[in-house]
Chains A and B, each alone.
Chain A
Amino acid sequence: MKAPPIPVPAEAGELRSTRPRRRRTLAKVPIYLMLALGAGFALIPFIWMVSTALKTPGQLFKFPPEWIPNPVAWTNFGEAWDALPFGAMVLNSLFVTTLAMVGELSSAAVVAYGFARFHFPFRNALFLLMLSTMMLPWVVTLIPGFLIWKQFGLINTFDPLTVGALFAWGPFYIFLLRQFFLGVSRDIEEAAIVDGANPVQVLWYVMLPLVRPVLLAVAVLSFQGNWNNFKGALIYLQEPLTRFTLPLGLQFFQATLSGGESPRWHLMMAMSTLMVIPVMVLFFLAQRQFIEGIQLGGVKG
Chain B
Amino acid sequence: MHSGLMRIAGLTAAISLVATACASPGATPSRGAGASPTVAGASPTVTAAPPSQDAATPTQPAAQKVTYRLTTWAGEDESNELQELVLDEINASQSEFEIVHEPAPADYYTKLQTTLAGGTGADFMWLSQEYVAGYASRGALLDLTEPLKAIDSPAAAVDRYFPDVMSTALYQDHVYGLPWISQPVVLYYNPALFDAANIDYPDDTWDWDTFLTNAKALTKDTDGDGTPDQYGFSASGWPPVHMFIWQAGGDVISDDLKSSPIDSPEAIAGAEFYKSLIYNPECCPTEDTIAEQGFGEMFKAGTVAMFMGGASDTFESADGTVLDIGASVVPMGPTSRTTFAWTGSTVVNSTVENPELAVKALVALTDGIQHWKIVSPNMDLATKEVVTASLPDKWKDQKGPQVEAILASTSDMRSFNVIPRQQEWDDLFWREFQDKLYHDQGTAADLAAAARTQLEALLPE
Contact = CB atoms under 8 A, between A and B. Distances in A.
- The reply to whether A and B meet directly (CB within 8 Å) is yes
Interface of A: 56-58, 61, 83-84, 143, 146-147, 149-150, 155-156, 234-235, 238-241, 248, 251-264
A256 B290 contact: no
B110 interface: yes
Given A255-B13, A256-B105, A61 B110 contact: no
B297 A260 contact: yes
Interface of B: 7, 10-11, 13-14, 17-18, 69, 73, 75-77, 100, 102-107, 110-111, 114-115, 117-120, 236, 238, 290-297, 318
A252 B103 CA distance: 9
27 contacts: A57-B297, A57-B318, A83-B76, A143-B114, A143-B117, A150-B119, A155-B115, A155-B118, A155-B120, A156-B120, A240-B102, A252-B75, A252-B76, A255-B75, A255-B106, A256-B17, A256-B76, A259-B13, A260-B11, A260-B14, A260-B297, A261-B7, A261-B10, A261-B236, A261-B296, A262-B290, A262-B294
Contacts of B295: 260-261
A149 B120 CA distance: 11
A256 B75 contact: yes
A272 to B, nearest CB: 15
B111 A259 contact: no
Contacts, number: 95
A234 B110 CA distance: 9
Contacts of B102: 238-240
A255 B13 CA distance: 9
Nearest to A248: B106
B120 A255 contact: no
Nearest to B313: A259
Contact of B107 (A234, A241, A260): A234
Given A248-B106, A262-B290, A263-B294, 7 more contacts: A143-B114, A147-B117, A239-B69, A261-B290, A261-B295, A262-B294, A264-B297
Contacts of B73: 255
B293 A262 contact: yes
A61 B293 contact: yes
4 interchain residue pairs of minimum CB distance: A256-B75, A262-B294, A239-B102, A255-B105
A264 B300 CA distance: 13
B296 A84 contact: no
B111 A234 contact: yes
Contacts of B75: 252, 255-257
A262 B291 contact: yes
A271 B443 CA distance: 44
Nearest to B13: A255
Contact of B76 (A84, A155, A156): A84
A260 B238 CA distance: 9
Contacts of B14: 259-260
A224 B119 CA distance: 32
Contacts of A258: 10
Given A238-B104, A261-B236, A256 B18 contact: no
A254 B296 contact: no
Contacts of A149: 118
Contacts of B111: 234-235, 238
A255 B120 CA distance: 23
B110 A253 contact: no
- Dominant secondary structure at the B interface: helix
Nearest to B295: A261
Nearest to A262: B294
A260 B77 CA distance: 16
Contacts of A240: 102
Contacts of A254: 106
Given A83-B76, A238-B111, A260-B297, A252 B106 contact: yes
Contacts of B110: 234
A260 B296 contact: yes
Nearest to B237: A261
A58 B238 CA distance: 24
Contacts of A261: 7, 10, 236, 290-291, 294-296
Contacts of A155: 115, 118, 120
Given A241-B103, A255-B73, A260 B118 contact: no
Nearest to A147: B118
A256 B20 CA distance: 11
Contact of A146 (B17, B106, B114): B114
Contacts of B291: 261-262
Contacts of A84: 76
Interface centre among B77, B118, B238 (most CB of A within 10 A): B118
Contacts of A61: 292-293
A239 B105 CA distance: 12
Considering residues B69, B294, B296, which has the most beta carbons from chain A within 10 angstroms of its beta carbon?
Answer: B294
B115 A238 contact: yes
A146 B102 CA distance: 19
Nearest to A235: B114
B165 to A, nearest CB: 23
B405 to A, nearest CB: 22
Contacts of B118: 146-147, 149-150, 155
Interface centre among A84, A235, A263 (most CB of B within 10 A): A235
A233 to B, nearest CB: 10
A56 B320 CA distance: 13
A260 B10 contact: yes
A150 B114 CA distance: 10
B14 to A, nearest CB: 4
A137 B385 CA distance: 56
Given A155-B115, A155-B120, A260 B294 contact: yes
Contacts of A260: 10-11, 14, 238, 294-297
A69 to B, nearest CB: 14
A256 B77 contact: yes
A56 B114 contact: no
A251 B76 CA distance: 12
A209 to B, nearest CB: 43
B440 to A, nearest CB: 20
